[in-house]
Amino acid sequence: MSTAIEKKFSSQIDPTLTFKAGQYFVTMQDQNGTVYHKIVSPAAVREAFTNEVVDSGWLPPETVRFGVCRFGEWFVAFIPPARYELPLEAHEGEEGAVQGVVKITAPLPGLIFFGCNYKYFVWAVKSQTFDPKAEVFHPPLPNVGMDSPTAPPGLICYGLHKPLKCRAATFMQAWKLFIETPFNNHTADGKSRKYPEDVRLMLRELAARAMYPTTSDLEELIYPVEDLNPLVPNRTLTVEKLIKTWLLDESKPSGDDLENAMLKLFEAKRQ
């Protein structure tokens, strides 16, 4: 049977696979020149490509999820709560400033760092360890998108510093570039309940409290998570919902770029 089928189709013309209206079509031509079209399932197409090896390379230890979408490779990392040396744009004449930058050591909560293509996002969580069910919040840092028509919540603004395309080898380099680049007043508002106009005031306060502790416990060394603002007001958006809804939603128009797709996600969540 298989020999008869093989003889029927021309060996001079390879079958072609085309994509149209969300469906997969295989086109073949027999020895008499008759052209045949057949709809095939996504599973059959996937199986046809299983001989091609796909290797992500060694993943950074912080990575909790990895995949590939129409924008390219994507990675999700969990950054545990810790104290960081944060470079801030200095006040005029501020003591200890070097080339307009002053460094403080302040705590940050657990953070979710996400990268895809050339875009990177960061969100905060209240949990000490990674939990996909954890609610996401605005990170207590400037230079991160809030809620505007052009910058979805969490989108990192690198300014003049351009991160490399997201790959296993470059993913955490983008995090290092972000956390070590001086923070200015850009999108510093809305990130702190205590200091709604400028989250840097909160970071400075925490840094000062850690230098001169008033209690014997470690309260001065951790970020007060009750100060965080939810990513979507009056709605609970978890890490799992954020990643699955956006990345795994095959119904999104293929023409959307990364930022527009994320903007549409948050717009839907607000409604």
Q: What is the CA radius of gyration of the chain?
A: 25
Q: Based on the fold, state whether residues 138 and 201 are members of the same structural domain.
A: yes
Residue 231 falls inside a structural domain: yes
Q: Based on the fold, state whether residues 191 and 123 are members of the same structural domain.
A: yes
- Which carries the bigger pLDDT value, residue 30 or residue 154? 154
| Residue 126, domain extent | 63-270
Q: Based on the fold, state whether residues 157 and 261 are members of the same structural domain.
A: yes
- With a cut of 90, say whether residue 109 has pLDDT above it: yes
Is 135 in contact with 238 (CB distance < 8 Å)?
Answer: yes
Q: Based on the fold, state whether residues 44 and 75 are members of the same structural domain.
A: no
Q: Based on the fold, state whether residues 70 and 9 are members of the same structural domain.
A: no
Residue 56 falls inside a structural domain: no
Question: What are the angstrom distances between the C-alpha of 81 and each of 72, 108, 158, 267?
Answer: 29, 6, 22, 29
Per-residue model confidence (pLDDT) at position 12? 53
Please tell me the total count of domains within the chain.
2
Of 28-42, 142-156, 194-208, the one with minimum mean pLDDT is 28-42
Per-residue model confidence (pLDDT) at position 95? 79
The C-alpha atoms of residue 67 and residue 40 are separated, in whole angstroms, by 24
pLDDT confidence band for 182 (50 / 70 / 90)? very high
| Positive/negative CA dihedral, 179, 185, 191, 196 | positive
Q: Based on the fold, state whether residues 154 and 93 are members of the same structural domain.
A: yes
Is 188 in contact with 199 (CB distance < 8 Å)?
Answer: yes
